Amino acid sequence: MYIYAEYLLLENLAINYIILYVTRKVTRTNTKSIRLFIGALIGALYTLVLFFPSLKFMTKFSIKVLISILIIIIAFNPEKIRGLIKLISVFYLISFVFAGASLGIFFIITNEQLNDIRGFAIKDFSLQILGIGIFFSIALMKNIFKYYQKKAIVSNYLASVSISLNNKKVDFTALIDTGNSLKEPISDKPVIIAEYKVLKEILPVTVEEIYLKSDSLCLDSITDIMQNTQEEIRFRLIPFKSVGKNNGILLGFKPDEIVVVNCENQKKVEEDVLVAIYNNKLSSEDDYSGLLHPEILN
């Protein structure tokens, strides 16, 4: 079996550059492409030690780690140790993802099997398989990081809400919705929207039957609820508009106490605020169960 040094050099140069490029994108590090190229070239030149038996000591684990640190320093020039550790971690993570995806695709396409658990050798690992592996890895990482980035953004706008009514209390997570302008039309009071499932513990039992039957309330259902529960709780009608629905009506009530806790502070809401009951899910991934009017925190 013959290994051509120039092919090995070019292949590793291309792969190293792609890994460094993706590392730059993921970490959002500001660096020039020429620095990435030089770092990739050093990594590619390092693979040539395979052709020199006298340089076998350079294949040790410690030397490999030092070479990778050198590549990161040249490619990104981090100013702090923390930044260096972050770049090295992402660099290795992307490298492992590329390698794992490429090997997985190789075994799927070629139907190779590992017959010896002590080790294995890969034959006929083509550039096409490597390219597919890299493409698949980039697409996978892009979606994963996009997902967690979205999660991180949402978490900054979440708050814990406690609502008390008739000596009963419920706790849930609410999204501080800057686009929520819902107010009770007569009193102009801000409204917190909360799912029925998190409010049911403080609501009259007679309300449960009606909310379990249907996602939306008809006029007859609203009339029954208001008549049968007027001694326990005074419901109010809150009209709303939403995308895909011109208008609708939510049942609302004024709780005895509302406490909101977010990353900045804890606030006991003193002003009049209504809570509207929403008989559906507000978050498809169950990140939150309520929508908090931004005026409440201000």
Map out the domains of the chain as residue ranges: 5-113+125-155, 158-297
Residue 245, SS3 per DSSP: strand
- The predicted pLDDT at position 35 comes to 93
Q: Lowest-confidence range among 23-32, 54-63, 158-167, 211-220? A: 211-220
pLDDT surpasses 70 at 169:
yes
Residue 3, SS3 per DSSP: coil
- Name the amino acid, one letter, at 209: E
CA-CA distances (angstroms) from residue 119 to 24, 79, 97, 116, 124?
34, 41, 20, 6, 17
User: For all residues of the chain together, what is the average pLDDT?
Assistant: 77
Q: Kindly state the percentage of the chain with pLDDT values over 90.
A: 10
Distance CA 249, CA 222 (A): 9
Residue 62 burial (CB count, 10 A): 7
pLDDT surpasses 70 at 293:
yes
User: Is the CA virtual torsion 63, 67, 12, 82 positive or negative?
Assistant: positive
Q: Lowest-confidence range among 13-17, 180-184, 210-214, 215-219? A: 215-219
Main-chain phi, psi angles of 160, to 5 degrees:
-90, 130
Most confident range, picked from 148-152, 167-171, 235-239: 167-171
Angle at 58 between CA 16 and CA 32, to 5 degrees: 30
Q: Who wins on pLDDT, 287 or 5? A: 287
Distance CA 91, CA 109 (A): 27
Structure-token pair, residue 73: 């320093």
pLDDT surpasses 90 at 180:
no
| pTM confidence score | 0.51
Distance CA 259, CA 269 (A): 6
Mean local confidence (pLDDT), 202-213: 74
pLDDT surpasses 60 at 114:
no
Contact 189, 258 (CB under 8 A): no
- The predicted pLDDT at position 100 comes to 73
Contact 201, 297 (CB under 8 A): no
- The predicted pLDDT at position 283 comes to 82
* Helix residue spans in 119-172 (DSSP H): 127-155
Structure-token pair, residue 49: 């030690």
- The predicted pLDDT at position 117 comes to 42
CA-CA distances (angstroms) from residue 292 to 173, 228, 282?
9, 28, 12
- The predicted pLDDT at position 243 comes to 47
Main-chain phi, psi angles of 183, to 5 degrees:
-135, 155
Structure-token pair, residue 186: 């007569």
Distance CA 296, CA 17 (A): 50
Mean local confidence (pLDDT), 61-80: 90
Residue 202, SS3 per DSSP: helix
H or E element: which one contains 258? strand 257-261
pLDDT surpasses 90 at 36:
yes
User: What's the pLDDT tens digit per position in 191-202?
Assistant: 888 998 899 888
Contact 8, 48 (CB under 8 A): yes
Main-chain phi, psi angles of 3, to 5 degrees:
-120, 120
